Amino acid sequence: MTLHLSHLSPQDQRRRQTDSDSIDHTMAKAVASVYGAVSTGSFAWDLLLLLLIGYTAQALWSWRRLSHVPGPFFNSLSSLPLLRVNLSGHSHSNLNELTSRYGSLVRIGPNTVITTYFRHAQRMEALKSPYRKGPWYGTFRFQKGKDHSFCMVDEEKHAALRTKIGPGYSASNLVEEAIDRQLSRLIDLVDRKYLSTNGAYQPMDFAVLSQLLSIDIVGDMCYGKPFGFLDDGKDIYDWVKWNEGFFPIASTAATLPILSKLVQTWPMSELLPKPRDPAGLGRFIKFAQDSIDERFGPGAEARRDMIAMFLKHGANKEEATGEALVQVVAGTDSVAVAIRMTLLYILTAPRVYNMLLAELDGAARTGALTTPIRDAEAKRLPYLQAVIREGLRVFPSLTPLLAKSVPAEGDTVAGHFLPGGTEVGIDGWGILRSQGYWGPDAHAFRPERWLEAGKEQLEDMSECLEILFGYGKYKCLGRGIAIMEINKVLPELLRRYDFTILDPTAPIKKMHSAAFWLMTDFWVTVTPRNGS
């Protein structure tokens, strides 16, 4: 395997707007013709003609400023092709087809490009980078007029908020204890309801169970107590249903600035979650508000959870509520997808499955593993770590553009000059499956690549994989929590149970890419391992 990370040589394609004079001249002639027509035609028709000419001139200017960037012609004229791609539910593969065809920088909209050059993602997100979050982020504001760390585009406010909430994400002991409690509840649920025997057939939808586990872990570590999903393994607040409705709308609206603004404007804003909602995210807004209110006033008891950490380090009630909601939304689906898809890849690769179990069993025999497995113990198992990294690589649990705005002075990306204001998105799926980065078997699930690599190559591979979590000032604060969950949940389940996929021809019935993955019907049977 080879890893090619060299920068493309700069091409002399820096197109200054030297043609602006000719465009201005064309517009002047058009406007003059309209004024001349006013004396002979109706004012309404003249106004319509003037608007049409103005729109055409604007479209021509918009097309021309990025005409040197390769990409489909119709994408350069309108955002509708990108809108169609998002509606299809296959945006990850469709956008990757474009970068595979046109190269490491592709124009996918009138003012939007996408790149597979992960080194540029590092530059855009560096602490002192002049790049800024683009309008894409604003679509993921859950409540009208209320920002959280993900959707906030004001750089100073964003940096200040991260300082307040960062310590909450770093409380590793608090987090691991919460994961242990909820993992124990999941095991109890499986033992009670989903164990199959010769006389009892009890299929389990792991797509649902993995998501319910993640949401109760968030409830425990962030709100101070689980929400109750693992009591009976039911979607008691229609959380899965809300996800399936929200993300396709939000990710699609993010492709068109006008739609992004419309969602946050009355009357559409009335559809956003509210504390009075009986289900969906609105129910969790109420949970967050109640949890915070309980910490103030006479008789209030000290709490030991992430919200308490947010408040302790300077976050106000609104900021703490917003960040609690980020945990509910971003800290559940992404981790659940990573766990279920890595498990799927393990189960369908007998060589990997057998090697991983051999490592786990060997470590248990020597007393290197406790029950439940500790995060520190999992990190000392090289093949487990290779499997987890490879699972994250071969099936990224997020597929968003995460578009940033080019600074006013412009910038050169992959040899192409981009004028200020251009939106640069990231093809994370393409980056993590690129043969240029990962070799000819880039699409294969092969954990050994992480064990075979030399020191420098391994560092490059690790930096490339971090595209999942971002870099610098935009790095995901929950990265450590997500990895800890995977480190503990996967080996604990594999040590206890044998899993059988019900339908190997279609293990997961529905998969929809909408920034986050929406998945349903990953049916398996579960039996105690080794007949125990």
Q: Which sequence spans correspond to the domains of the chain? A: 155-269+281-314+331-531
**Confidence at residue 427, expressed as pLDDT on a 0 to 100 scale:** 95
Instruction: Say which range, 16-20, 210-214, 344-348, has the weakest mean pLDDT.
Output: 16-20
Please check the confidence at residue 191 and state whether its pLDDT lies above 90. yes
**More confidently predicted of 306 and 253:** 306
**Confidence at residue 176, expressed as pLDDT on a 0 to 100 scale:** 97
The pLDDT mean for the chain works out to 89
Instruction: Say which range, 37-51, 213-227, 413-427, has the weakest mean pLDDT.
Output: 37-51
**Confidence at residue 39, expressed as pLDDT on a 0 to 100 scale:** 46
Please check the confidence at residue 26 and state whether its pLDDT lies above 60. no
**Confidence at residue 41, expressed as pLDDT on a 0 to 100 scale:** 53
Which of 509, 475, 416 shows the shortest CA–CA distance to 206? 509
Say what the pTM is.
0.88
Token pair recorded at residue 507: 């293990």
Please check the confidence at residue 233 and state whether its pLDDT lies above 60. yes
**Confidence at residue 49, expressed as pLDDT on a 0 to 100 scale:** 79
**Confidence at residue 287, expressed as pLDDT on a 0 to 100 scale:** 93
Q: With cut-offs at 50, 70 and 90, classify the pLDDT of residue 122.
A: very high
Domain 155-269+281-314+331-531: which CATH class? mainly alpha
**Confidence at residue 55, expressed as pLDDT on a 0 to 100 scale:** 67
Q: How far apart are CA 514 and CA 243, in angstroms?
A: 10
Instruction: Say which range, 58-62, 75-79, 89-93, has the weakest mean pLDDT.
Output: 58-62
Please check the confidence at residue 46 and state whether its pLDDT lies above 80. no
Q: How far apart are CA 318 and CA 269, in angstroms?
A: 19
Mean pLDDT of 252-262: 79
Q: Which helix (H) or strand (E) holds 110?
A: none
Mean pLDDT of 33-62: 66
Contact 162, 432 (CB under 8 A): no
Would you call 51 helix, strand, or coil by DSSP?
helix
Task: Give the alpha-carbon dihedral of 318, 324, 326, 332, to 10 degrees.
Answer: -170
Q: How far apart are CA 47 and CA 147, in angstroms?
A: 40
Instruction: Say which range, 351-360, 390-399, 491-500, 511-520, has the weakest mean pLDDT.
Output: 511-520
In three-state form (DSSP H/G/I as H, E/B as E, the rest C), the secondary structure along 333-390 is HHHHHHHHHHHHHHHCCHHHHHHHHHHHHHHHHCCCCCCCCCHHHHHCCHHHHHHHHH
**Confidence at residue 18, expressed as pLDDT on a 0 to 100 scale:** 43
Mean pLDDT of 310-319: 94
Mean pLDDT of 62-67: 87
Mean pLDDT of 415-444: 95
Please check the confidence at residue 433 and state whether its pLDDT lies above 80. yes
Token pair recorded at residue 204: 């389990």
**Do you know the residue count of the chain?**
532
Radius of gyration (Cα) for the chain, nearest Å? Answer: 26
**More confidently predicted of 145 and 206:** 206
Q: How far apart are CA 532 and CA 518, in angstroms?
A: 34
Distance of CA 244 to the CA centre of its chain: 15
Please check the confidence at residue 11 and state whether its pLDDT lies above 50. no
Strands 404-405 and 423-426: antiparallel
Mean pLDDT of 12-33: 45
**Confidence at residue 247, expressed as pLDDT on a 0 to 100 scale:** 85
Please check the confidence at residue 31 and state whether its pLDDT lies above 80. no
Round to the nearest angstrom and report the end-to-end CA distance of the chain: 41
